[in-house]
């Protein structure tokens, strides 16, 4: 029986999920992960957002960066550099082992969701992590004349470009991975994690069968705002919202999700937006949403689980 479905990006989602697994039995949680950020480098399939969640829930994430494996070394990358290859994507040696195994499984005919389930099992992750799709959906970022691959925008160019449009290549034809819409149909509660709405959650919503299942679900859809006091705590969410015509605020996040959302949890810093959001027909809970520690994440997860 599925209790909770969580739509998740990377670092913001993982911080929240680390709390959620302490509040809800992990066996009752299905996490639908973004794979629009996936990239192929050196012949390896890398799924950064799935890995951030796996490493976090397995207790091996580099907590300072929020991605990668704690205490990793970079010998392989250093050698790749010596051989003349590009090294802007900082792949650690331990991290590489995951990409090698994922790629091996994909070459042997496993789907991405099967490979993810295997990796979760190997790492001892108890919650069920399902990629949004087994089909290729790739987020491309348009910045004026430039059309950038997601990681080129995010890591190589350090999010310096002003985003004018975002496209999810392959989304029209993509089907949800097995188990995604079934979990949404069965869920008692659906949570949109405090992730980047446009770059992390919109790719998931770009798959029409997922969007339809969410709209049809009897379970309440609750979101946590990743924008606090008009700013993203990390990354470009505020800038991307502004350049795409959305107010970079908790109100803008609520407006972006619109009818999908029943209830949003916003930060105390954003109390001024409460009435405005309620006028959109969305319920609001105001609390401290900063997750500086596991205790903060557990507290926030409890509030999300108790919100009506
Ligand atoms: P990414 O894919 O690795 O960029 O990660 P996500 O899309 O999952 O999350 C990025 C968002 O997480 C950013 O917009 C941050 O503002 C948000 N975030 C990070 N830490 C926190 C936190 O402690 N509280 C809240 N409310 N949002 C957070
Ligand atoms: N993020 C960075 O900002 N710089 C990196 O060099 C980098 C390497 C990297 C390697 C493996 C991995 O799984 C994730 C990695 N990330 C890196 C994080 C990641 O690419 C982004 O946070 C997400 O794609 C945005 O969700």
CB of residue 300 inside a 6 A radius of ligand 1: no
The number of the ligand 1 atom at minimal distance from the alpha carbon of 236 is: 14
Q: Containing H/E element for 232?
A: strand 231-232
Question: With 80 as the cut, is the pLDDT of residue 178 above it?
Answer: yes
Q: List Cα–Cα distances, 35 to 170, 232, 262, in angstroms.
A: 12, 21, 25
Per-residue confidence (pLDDT) for residue 192, from 0 to 100 = 98
| 163: Cβ contacts below 8 Å, ≥ 6 apart | 141, 142, 143, 153, 198, 236, 239, 240, 243, 244
Q: Dihedral, CA atoms, 258, 260, 264, 270, nearest 10 degrees?
A: -20
Residue of minimum CA distance from atom 1 in ligand 1? 10
Give the residue from 155, 169, 143, 146 showing the smallest Cα distance to 243: 143
Question: With 90 as the cut, is the pLDDT of residue 166 above it?
Answer: yes
Token couple for 11: 């670092």
Residue of 12, 68, 199, 268 to test ligand 1 pocket, by largest number of atoms within 8 Å of CB: 12
Residue of 35, 54, 89 to test ligand 2 pocket, by largest number of atoms within 8 Å of CB: 89
CB of residue 38 inside a 6 A radius of ligand 2: no
What are the pLDDT digits (tens) for 74-101? 999 999 999 999 999 999 999 999 999 9
> What percent of the chain clears pLDDT 70, i.e. is strictly above it?
99
Ligand 1 centroid from CA 167, angstroms: 21
CB of residue 92 inside a 6 A radius of ligand 2: no
Question: With 80 as the cut, is the pLDDT of residue 150 above it?
Answer: yes
Task: Specify the 3-state DSSP secondary structure of 145.
Answer: coil
Question: With 80 as the cut, is the pLDDT of residue 277 above it?
Answer: yes
Ligand 1 centroid from CA 198, angstroms: 12
Residue of minimum CA distance from atom 25 in ligand 2? 10
Residue of 13, 39, 48 to test ligand 2 pocket, by largest number of atoms within 8 Å of CB: 48
Ligand 2 centroid from CA 186, angstroms: 32
Question: With 70 as the cut, is the pLDDT of residue 1 above it?
Answer: no
Residue of 155, 156, 160 to test ligand 2 pocket, by largest number of atoms within 8 Å of CB: 155
Mean pLDDT value across the chain: 97
Domains and CATH numbers, the chain: 4-141+169-306 (3.40.50.10680)
User: pLDDT band at 182, cuts 50/70/90?
Assistant: very high
Question: With 80 as the cut, is the pLDDT of residue 2 above it?
Answer: no
Q: How far apart are CA 284 and CA 265, in angstroms?
A: 6
Q: How far apart are CA 148 and CA 170, in angstroms?
A: 15
CB of residue 91 inside a 6 A radius of ligand 2: yes
Mean pLDDT of 120-138: 98
Question: With 70 as the cut, is the pLDDT of residue 145 above it?
Answer: yes
Q: Where are the alpha helices (DSSP H) in 244-293?
A: 250-257, 274-278
Per-residue confidence (pLDDT) for residue 267, from 0 to 100 = 98
pTM score > 0.75 for this model? yes
User: pLDDT band at 54, cuts 50/70/90?
Assistant: very high
Mean pLDDT of 21-34: 98
Q: Please list, residue by residue across 215-248, b when 16 or more beta carbons sit within 10 angstroms of its beta carbon and e when fewer do.
A: eebebbbbbbbbbbebebbebbbbbbbbbbebbb
Ligand 1 centroid from CA 233, angstroms: 6
How far, in whole angstroms, is CA 2 from its chain's centroid? 20
Q: List Cα–Cα distances, 136 to 72, 172, 199, 223, 281, in angstroms.
A: 29, 11, 16, 26, 35
User: pLDDT band at 308, cuts 50/70/90?
Assistant: confident
CB of residue 232 inside a 6 A radius of ligand 1: yes
Which ligand is nearest to the Cα of residue 150, counting in written order?
2
């Amino acid at each position: 029986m599925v209790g909770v479905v969580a739509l998740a990006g990377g670092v913001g989602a993982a911080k929240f999920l680390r709390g959620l697994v302490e509040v809800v039995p992990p066996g009752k949680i299905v996490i639908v992960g973004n794979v629009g950020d996936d990239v192929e480098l050196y012949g390896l399939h890398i799924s950064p957002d799935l890995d951030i969640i796996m490493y976090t829930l397995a207790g091996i994430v580099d907590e300072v960066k929020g991605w990668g494996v704690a205490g990793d070394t970079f010998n392989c990358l250093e050698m790749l550099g010596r051989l003349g290859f590009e090294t802007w994507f900082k792949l650690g040696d331990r991290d590489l082992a995951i990409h090698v195994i994922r790629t091996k499984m994909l070459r042997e005919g496993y789907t991405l969701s099967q490979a993810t389930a295997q990796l979760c099992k190997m790492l001892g992750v108890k919650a069920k992590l399902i990629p949004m799709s087994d089909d290729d959906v790739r987020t491309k970022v348009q910045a004026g004349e430039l059309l950038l691959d997601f990681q080129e925008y995010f890591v190589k160019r350090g999010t310096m470009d002003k985003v004018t449009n975002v496209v999810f290549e392959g989304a029209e034809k993509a089907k949800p991975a097995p188990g995604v819409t079934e979990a949404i149909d069965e869920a008692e509660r659906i949570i949109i994690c405090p992730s980047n709405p446009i770059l992390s959650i919109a790719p998931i919503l770009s798959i029409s069968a997922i969007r339809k299942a969410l709209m049809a679900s009897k379970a309440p859809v609750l979101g946590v705002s990743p924008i606090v006091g008009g700013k993203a705590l990390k990354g470009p969410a505020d800038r991307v919202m502004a350049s795409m015509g959305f107010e970079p605020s908790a109100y803008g996040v609520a407006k972006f999700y619109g009818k999908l959302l029943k209830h949003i949890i916003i930060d105390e810093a954003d109390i001024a937006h409460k009435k405005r959001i309620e006028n959109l027909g969305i319920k609001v809970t105001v609390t401290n949403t900063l997750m500086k520690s596991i205790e903060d994440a557990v507290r926030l997860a409890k509030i999300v689980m108790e919100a009506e």
